[in-house]
Amino acid sequence: MSVETEPGETTGVAQRLRAVPERTRGALVALPPVAYLAVFFAIPLLTILSFSVRVQQNLQMTNALTLDHYATVLTSETFRGALFYSVRIAVITTAITLVVGLPVSYYLALKADDRFRNVLLFLVIAPLWINFFVRSYAMIQLGSPQGFINGFLTSVGLIGEPLRWLVYSQPAVIFGLASLYLPLMVLPLYAMLRQLDEAWLEAAQDLGAGPLRTHREVTLSAALPGMILGGLFVFLLSLGNQAVPRILGGAMNPTYSETILLQLEGSVAWPTAAAASGVMMAFVVLVLVGVFNVFDMEELF
Amino acid sequence: MASNVTRRLLGYGLKAWVLAVYVILFTPIVVMVLFSFDGSPIPIYPLDNLTTQWYSQLFGAYYGDYIAPLLNSLQVALVTSVIATILGGMGGFAISRYEFTGSSLYPFVLATPAMIPPLITGFGMLAFFQQTLGLQMSKFTVVFGHVAMTMPFAAFIVAGKLGPEEELERAARDLGANYVQVIREVTVPVLGPALVASLLLTFTISFGESAMVFILSGSDTLLPVALDQRFRAGISPRYNAISTIVVVITFGLFTVAEAVRQYFGE
Amino acid sequence: MTTSSTRSESVTEAASAVAVAVDGLRKEFGELTAVDGVSLTIRDGEFFTLVGPSGCGKTTFLRMLAGLEDATAGSISIDGTDMTTVPAEKRPTSMVFQDLALFPFKNVFENLTFGLKMQGESRDVRRERAEEMLDVLDLQGYADNEIEELSGGEQQRIALGRSLLTEPDLLLLDEPLSSLDVKLRKEMQLELRRIHEDLESTFFYVTHDQEVALTASDRIGVMNDGQLVQVGTPREVYEKPATPFVAEFIGDTNLFEGEIDGADRTTVETDSGLELAAANGADRPDSGRVFVSVRPERITVSESPVDADNSFEGTVADRIYRGDDITYEVTVRDVELQAEQPVPDSAEPLEPGETAYVGFDRASAYVITE
């Protein structure tokens, strides 16, 4: 079949393809991804949900249904404590990334030179790229009692005893999560702030707003959709992350994800873990629905 | 004037803040890279006895402990990125170009896997594979999980680039280009960077993911598992070496990405 | 060409208070000097327009008045108080930006009352004032609309309203009409004039469009290359340009270069070989090089010789019909003259190629010495 044709005409194969109505073509293209997800995502999730309501006997799932597992999870101190702990960490992490990330995004969007900007953007994204584990270990080395920071501070005489809370503690977990997910906050904020017209800032000034007030009124309002999207990402991902707490958190207070993982590793009591997962899923859905209902997300798309 | 002073302070403060953030973000990594050359068996401050022995050990006696898992992880990431990009790319096309039954919900459906914690998805796949299908866990099962997780990103990257491209296609056709020419001159230059970006992002996400790896890798050892095992045995200087290698790989990938972007003249 | 209203004459004559005094204002951006030592006074209640080509520094000057740019040298005082180092938010000025700079994430009410909010006014007061302003702007009921729902002209008015609500001593306008279509622009010009008279406030307007300057202003300043070249009423600037640049920039003109004839000081021998009787012009020297500016509407074109101090024969090179008048380009001894005539009722307009006679009085030839 000849490939060179008149402008506007199509080749044999292409012609046949084009003969198929658009709706069908669309469905054909859209199908494989969805099919894959149906098999490898939807079914697994449904499997968990199914496990979470079944009775387990002798390591086998029976067909008897029960809500006991959910009751166990929801009343268990371990799970409830872990859930609160996880949510608390996620909230603090989100707040920190917001406070830290906003000035950085502002600077990148409005103040940096063009060439500089690309480099800086890359550097912000780079941490996302480097394996979580690698960075967490790096932090441990840095902050452990025998580590770099303590060694340095001791040698210059600033402290007498090594600081114990730099690693294997809640602050360490928060720090790890925040530095890991900071790019996820910076990028949406950056995208929104790029659209900020400096004239708005000048207009606000001209109308009587001092430097701080101007930023409050203009910059924050303009960045808001980015803050919401970024906040959502950081919150959900912090909630679900298990690598960072596992390494940096020590054995003390496991997060919710860690608890589930421990269940999986330690025993074959899958239904409980399944119920715990079900609770987590419900929580995620609630958060998503809540956020999308409260905020108008149109400006993002 | 007071507000002039505030203005100046804000200006300096901003720069200082940004600098501090970058320093804090990168210090652990920089220190780690430096200490990979530290001579003492336990990486303690100060840095002394510069040596590359840890690297040689990695490729020598400790190959199985570190390099082999690294290669496994790279393999998984590579396969994941290709499959996720293909499937996600199709999804991206569907989102930006076509209308069909349910096309308004379609983007949300595709986005869901990114919202659910990988731990849970992984658990579900374990349950499904092991209980229902009776499969053994291996690095291939990890791939299945990673593809599901990274597909949304591939889809939206491609969709994002294809949207505006459609107009360019129409313009080209208007100027007389035939089907093949349009693809060659318009679609490929736009699609190219999108696919490359997608490959890189999915690769990175897969490479850095640990929860699913723990659950789904079974008899194969991937890097997160290996590091975790070794770490529980005690801090080892070889960590820094393997970690530095990972960092180099990552930065190398980004350089490749930049080069490709320049090539396509973004 | 319309001249400004009689109001301008009375403003010039009355001893009005000075609202803004600028002395030797200078702004350098590194190597580039944008504003080169400009001194100017703006009178209370005046509508002053600063015109000049793109890049002449007028916008920079405006921004310095607003406080959005620091001055490299010189001083600005408003109502007698030195404002040179006062930051923008503390100045009694308000600016209407060229692209309006309305806040897209706030609605009409919030935009309008932003300045009042900064002043600490309560919500009730703000509501009241907003309603009043919407009335003045003829946009009643729009308070809760989003900015993007408004048309260009409506947004214009909101931007104006926003600046006016703070009751500034000086309202600054940066080419606010440039994005509007021609008809809308004409309407808005009149609106501005009307609002200015209603409010009796001081307006400082910057534009490259000299038609706006001529129709709405009490006084005009012409700026070029960072320097203020001439200041005066529209009539003064139009009829008595201080430099060739002003003559050519404001309105159209026929500009000649030549030497004053020593013997008879009222004759100018142009480089192109014409002998012009030129009576107008201040401070004419006895001899030396000068420019002569003749406005097209002062030149008569006819089929038969024109009885005037300056009369020439030539050929019609081109003819442009403009609805309200006709512009002829007539070639006289290698010189192309532009002449504007109202459309004749009875006689046929002249065709290109025909012989034509042009003429103008000595009073219509204005001598400019640089």
Domain contains B148: yes
pLDDT of residue C113: 93
Distance CA A69, CA A196 (A): 51
Distance CA A230, CA A227 (A): 5
Helix (H) or strand (E) holding A62: strand A60-65
pLDDT of residue C282: 62
Chain A hits for B191, CB-CB cut-off 8 Å, are none
Q: Which residue of A has its CA nearest to C113?
A: A207
pLDDT of residue C16: 56
Position A7 pLDDT exceeds 70: no
| pLDDT average, residue stretch A211-224 | 90
The rounded percent of chain C whose pLDDT value lies above 70 is 92
Q: What are phi and psi of C314, to 5 degrees?
A: -160, -170
Distance CA C177, CA A8 (A): 44
Q: Angle C193-C196-C199 (CA atoms, 0-180°, nearest 5)?
A: 150
pLDDT of residue B45: 63
Position A113 pLDDT exceeds 70: yes
- DSSP alpha helices (H): ranges in C67-181? 108-112, 114-119, 123-136, 152-164
Q: Specify the CATH architecture of the domain C253-368.
A: Beta Barrel (2.40)
Specify whether the CB–CB gap between A139 and A248 falls below 8 A: yes
Chain A hits for C95, CB-CB cut-off 8 Å, are 202-203, 206
- CB contact under 8 Å between C105 and A221, yes or no, is yes
Chain C hits for A198, CB-CB cut-off 8 Å, are none
Q: What are phi and psi of C27, to 5 degrees?
A: -140, 125
DSSP state of C166: T
- Whether C85 contacts chain B with CB within 8 A: yes
pLDDT of residue B42: 66
- CB contact under 8 Å between A210 and B27, yes or no, is no
Distance CA B263, CA B192 (A): 10
- CB contact under 8 Å between C101 and A203, yes or no, is yes
Chain B hits for A132, CB-CB cut-off 8 Å, are 208-210, 224
Query: pLDDT tens across C338-354, in order?
Result: 888 887 776 777 888 88
Domain contains B76: yes
Which residue did the predictor score with more confidence, C175 or A14?
Answer: C175
Distance CA C54, CA C174 (A): 12
pLDDT of residue C284: 66
- Whether B46 contacts chain A with CB within 8 A: yes
| pLDDT average, residue stretch B247-263 | 77
Q: Which residue of B has its CA nearest to A270?
A: B127
* Res. B150 pLDDT band, cuts 50 70 90: very high
Domain contains B24: no
| pLDDT average, residue stretch A243-261 | 79
- CATH number of residue B98's parent domain: 1.10.3720.10
Burial class (CB in 10 A: 0-12, 13-18, 19+), C283: exposed
pLDDT of residue C15: 43
At A210 the three-state DSSP class reads: coil
Mean pLDDT, chain A, rounded, equals 81
Query: pLDDT tens across A254-301, in order?
Result: 788 878 877 777 767 788 888 888 888 898 889 888 888 877 655 444
Token pair 């200015």 is found at: C196
Distance to chain B for C164, nearest Cα, Å:
24
| Nearest Cβ partner for B214 among A47, A135, A261 | A261
Q: What residue ranges define each of the domains in chain A, with the CATH number in brackets?
A: 13-52 (no CATH), 76-300 (1.10.3720.10)
At C222 the three-state DSSP class reads: strand
- CB contact under 8 Å between B3 and C87, yes or no, is yes
For residue B237, say if its preceding peptide bond is cis, omega within 30 degrees of 0. Answer: no
Distance to chain C for A93, nearest Cα, Å:
28
pLDDT of residue B43: 60
Q: Which residue of B has its CA nearest to A48?
A: B124
- CB contact under 8 Å between A209 and C118, yes or no, is yes
Distance CA B217, CA B135 (A): 12
- What is the number of CB-based contacts under 8 A between chain B and chain C? 10
Start and end residues for every CATH 3.40.50.300 domain found in chain C: 6-245
pLDDT of residue C5: 40
Residues 6+ apart with CB under 8 A from C169: C19, C78, C79, C92, C93, C201, C202
Beta-strand relationship, C73-78 and C202-207: unpaired
Distance to chain A for C102, nearest Cα, Å:
7
Its pTM surpasses 0.90? no
- CB contact under 8 Å between B45 and A10, yes or no, is no
Q: What are phi and psi of C240, to 5 degrees?
A: -130, 65
Per-range mean pLDDT, top range of A68-82, B175-189, C49-63, C305-319: C49-63
- CB contact under 8 Å between A199 and C101, yes or no, is yes
> Which candidate in C83, C90, C118 is best for mutational testing of the B interface (most B CBs within 10 A)?
C90
ipTM above 0.85, yes or no: no
pLDDT of residue C180: 79
Q: Sign of torsion, CA C177 C182 C184 C187?
A: positive
- Whether C87 contacts chain B with CB within 8 A: yes
Distance to chain A for C292, nearest Cα, Å:
44
- CB contact under 8 Å between C89 and A200, yes or no, is no
- What is the number of CB-based contacts under 8 A between chain A and chain C? 61
- CB contact under 8 Å between B45 and A29, yes or no, is no
Nearest to B139 by CA among B81, B80, B85: B80
Position C293 pLDDT exceeds 50: yes
Chain C hits for A202, CB-CB cut-off 8 Å, are 68, 88, 95, 97, 101
Q: Which two tokens stand for residue C48?
A: 């002053």
Q: Number of structural domains, chain B?
A: 1
Query: pLDDT tens across C184-221, in order?
Result: 888 888 888 888 888 878 999 999 888 878 888 899 99
Burial class (CB in 10 A: 0-12, 13-18, 19+), C96: buried
Q: Fold for domain C6-245? A: Rossmann fold (3.40.50)
Q: By residue range, what is the domain housing residue B240?
A: 62-263
Residues 6+ apart with CB under 8 A from C255: C244, C247, C248, C291, C292, C293
Chain C hits for B4, CB-CB cut-off 8 Å, are 85, 87
Q: Which residue of B has its CA nearest to A283?
A: B116
Chain A hits for C93, CB-CB cut-off 8 Å, are 206
- CB contact under 8 Å between B3 and C90, yes or no, is yes
Q: Residue C224, CB half-sphere, CA atoms under 13 Å: how many?
A: 13
Q: Work out the end-to-end distance of chain A between its first and last CA atoms, rounded to an integer number of angstroms.
A: 42
Burial A141-160 (b: 16+ CB within 10 A, else e): bbbbeebbbbbeebeeeeee
Give Rg (Cα) of chain A: 26
| pLDDT average, residue stretch B94-118 | 80
- Whether B1 contacts chain C with CB within 8 A: yes
pLDDT of residue A131: 65
Chain C hits for A205, CB-CB cut-off 8 Å, are 67-68, 87-89
| Nearest Cβ partner for B90 among A22, A33, A51 | A33
Instruction: Give the strand order in the sheet containing C47-51.
Output: C93-96, C170-174, C202-207, C47-51, C219-224, C227-232
Which residue did the predictor score with more confidence, C74 or C342?
Answer: C74
pLDDT of residue A13: 61
| pLDDT average, residue stretch C1-18 | 46
Which residue did the predictor score with more confidence, A227 or B182?
Answer: A227
- CB contact under 8 Å between B113 and A37, yes or no, is yes
| Nearest Cβ partner for C114 among A207, A210, A222 | A207
- CB contact under 8 Å between B3 and C86, yes or no, is no
Domain contains B8: no
Residues paired with residue C365 on neighbouring β-strands, in sequence order: C294
Residues 6+ apart with CB under 8 A from C170: C19, C20, C42, C65, C78, C92, C93, C94, C201, C202, C204
pLDDT of residue A301: 44
**A110-114, B68-72, B224-228 — which is least confidently predicted?**
A110-114
| pLDDT average, residue stretch A82-95 | 92
Token pair 């919900």 is found at: B105
| pLDDT average, residue stretch A69-74 | 83
Residues 6+ apart with CB under 8 A from C102: A203, C111, C147, C155, C158, C159, C162
Helix (H) or strand (E) holding B121: helix B118-126
Burial class (CB in 10 A: 0-12, 13-18, 19+), A9: exposed
- Whether A197 contacts chain C with CB within 8 A: yes
| pLDDT average, residue stretch C75-82 | 90
Distance CA B10, CA A210 (A): 12
Distance CA C299, CA C258 (A): 19
pLDDT of residue A299: 44
Chains with 3 or more CB pairs under 8 A to chain C: A, B
The rounded percent of chain A whose pLDDT value lies above 90 is 17
Q: Which residue of B has its CA nearest to A281?
A: B116
Q: Which two tokens stand for residue C307?
A: 């009885």
Q: What are phi and psi of C294, to 5 degrees?
A: -125, 120
Position A137 pLDDT exceeds 80: no
Specify whether the CB–CB gap between B166 and B95 falls below 8 A: no
pLDDT of residue A229: 86
Query: pLDDT tens across C98-116, in order?
Result: 888 999 889 999 999 999 9
- CB contact under 8 Å between B204 and A152, yes or no, is no
- CB contact under 8 Å between B4 and C89, yes or no, is no
| Nearest Cβ partner for C89 among A199, A200, A210 | A210
Query: pLDDT tens across A9-47, in order?
Result: 445 565 666 666 666 777 788 888 989 999 999 999 998
CA trace torsion C147, C151, C154, C160 (10° rounding): 60
* Res. B149 pLDDT band, cuts 50 70 90: very high
Start and end residues for every CATH 2.40.50.140 domain found in chain C: 253-368
pLDDT of residue A94: 96
DSSP state of C146: B
Position C258 pLDDT exceeds 80: yes
Position C312 pLDDT exceeds 60: yes
pLDDT of residue A8: 46
The rounded percent of chain C whose pLDDT value lies above 90 is 30
Chains with 3 or more CB pairs under 8 A to chain A: B, C
Chain A hits for C166, CB-CB cut-off 8 Å, are 207-208
- Whether C86 contacts chain B with CB within 8 A: yes
Distance to chain B for A260, nearest Cα, Å:
9
pLDDT of residue C6: 41
Mean pLDDT, chain B, rounded, equals 82
- CB contact under 8 Å between B1 and C89, yes or no, is no
The rounded percent of chain A whose pLDDT value lies above 70 is 86
Position C14 pLDDT exceeds 80: no
- CB contact under 8 Å between A242 and B210, yes or no, is yes
Domain contains B172: yes
pLDDT of residue C8: 43
